[in-house]
Amino acid sequence: MTPSLNALGIICTLGVGKAAVSEALFAGDDSGLRAESGWTPDRSLPLGAVRTVLPSVPPALAASRDNRANRLLLAAALEIEGDIRAAIERYSVTRIGVVLGTSTTGIENTTVGIDHLRREGQWPDSYRYADQELGAPAEFLAEWLGLSGPCYGISTACTSGARALISAQRLLQMNLCDAVLCGGVDTLARMPINGFLALEALDFARCEPFSRHRRGINIGEAAALFLMTREGGPVQLLGGGASSDAYHISSPDPEGLGAQQAMRAALFHAQLDATQIDYLNLHGTATEHNDRMESRAVAAVFPRGVPCSSNKSLTGHTLAAAGALEAAFCWLSLMDVSHARRLPPHVWDGAIDPELPPLSFTHVGDSLPANGPRRLMSNSFAFGGNNACLILGDAPAGTST
């Protein structure tokens, strides 16, 4: 069973909705990464913030579910609300699941509450412990839509969004659901930003993935939400692979053996050879060790090369949302019919690191092959040696849409 990704709602610093995000993504627009102060002591740093006004949580849920993560998620869901409501009508509320990756949820609300507790000696009236629960975004979405199918969160750091899609596929395969809302959401929050600062992993300029000048990550926020079904659609999730090499709590295996394993597992699942992949969306955080590991892993799996790019110099690293967001970028390429299916460009300073195996980076204007089928891979890697890989592609000719 090969599931289809029949609808996509998306919001990030590139824009709100598929049209705006596509325009900025394929143009290589990095203007969304802007310096902001107030997140770390005595420093400003580039952040991929969503700077538009977000929709309000519905009044019936505002007292228990109002936080930025849920509002960001709601913005993505509203873009495809018509598709969701149609699925509810078709399948019923009991047969639709929700699986979302996250790591920050509403933790910024907790940070504000702790500040209040230290000053006033008590928690503010607005404090809700549930804001920081990792299943909270999925529960909010299910409550808003009145769904009663399987509903849970996945938090495997920066692979969470990708693993949510793999988990959703399993729910369909096991016939526990007929449709699944899946993806990821994470927001800017002081706790993870200062955590990466403590690890000396932040770049105080725009990050430079795979450059010899790379110094670390920029952090962003995003929500990407797919409607996955068994029904035929123009974009399919052809395969997914995951591994956990447990090399180190925060450093990747230098040779990328777990990353290779995840990529090869995705290829096996999709019954594809590496030469059949038309584009690879790299995890590409712009940290010294991750980029070295990933370039070695990619060179091992794709010895003939593959067009590839990291988009974190455009969006920032959106943490648990990254796997879903970057799979969404592959979805946008496949659906970019009127513009010859453009590819996300690799935006960097062009300073080649001679210590890294060479990669075939994409440029603005590059596109997928004119004739299908087209297959795109997306990598996600995380703390603890957690690795995930997705392959998206065109539906076979003759598939109904």
Cβ pair 218, 207 in contact under 8 A = yes
Question: Is there a cis peptide before residue 59, judged by omega within 30 degrees of 0?
Answer: no
Cβ pair 88, 147 in contact under 8 A = yes
Identify whether 248 is a catalytic site residue: no
CB atoms within 10 A of CB 149: 20
CB atoms within 10 A of CB 355: 9
Catalytic choice (283, 308, 330, 346): 283
Catalytic choice (12, 151, 158, 177): 158
For residue 375, what is the enclosing H or E element? strand 375-382
Catalytic choice (207, 308, 317, 330): 317
Identify whether 289 is a catalytic site residue: no
Q: Cα separation of 232 and 2, whole Å?
A: 9
Q: Cα separation of 260 and 276, whole Å?
A: 16
The tokens describing 322, both together, are 């990254």
Cβ pair 375, 392 in contact under 8 A = yes
Identify whether 283 is a catalytic site residue: yes
Residue 222 sits at the vertex; the CA angle it makes with 97 and 186, to the nearest 5 degrees, is: 70
Residues ≥6 apart with Cβ < 8 Å to 337: none
Q: Cα separation of 27 and 14, whole Å?
A: 11
Q: Cα separation of 296 and 304, whole Å?
A: 13
Cβ pair 241, 262 in contact under 8 A = yes
Q: Cα separation of 114 and 158, whole Å?
A: 26
For residue 57, give the DSSP letter.
Answer: P
Burial class of 370 by CB neighbour count within 10 A (0 to 12, 13 to 18, 19+): exposed
Q: Where are the alpha helices (DSSP H) in 188-236?
A: 190-198
Helices 81-91 and 68-79: angle between axes, nearest 10 degrees: 80
Torsion angle, alpha carbons of 367, 49, 67, 181, to 10:
10
- The residues annotated as belonging to the active site are 158, 283, 317
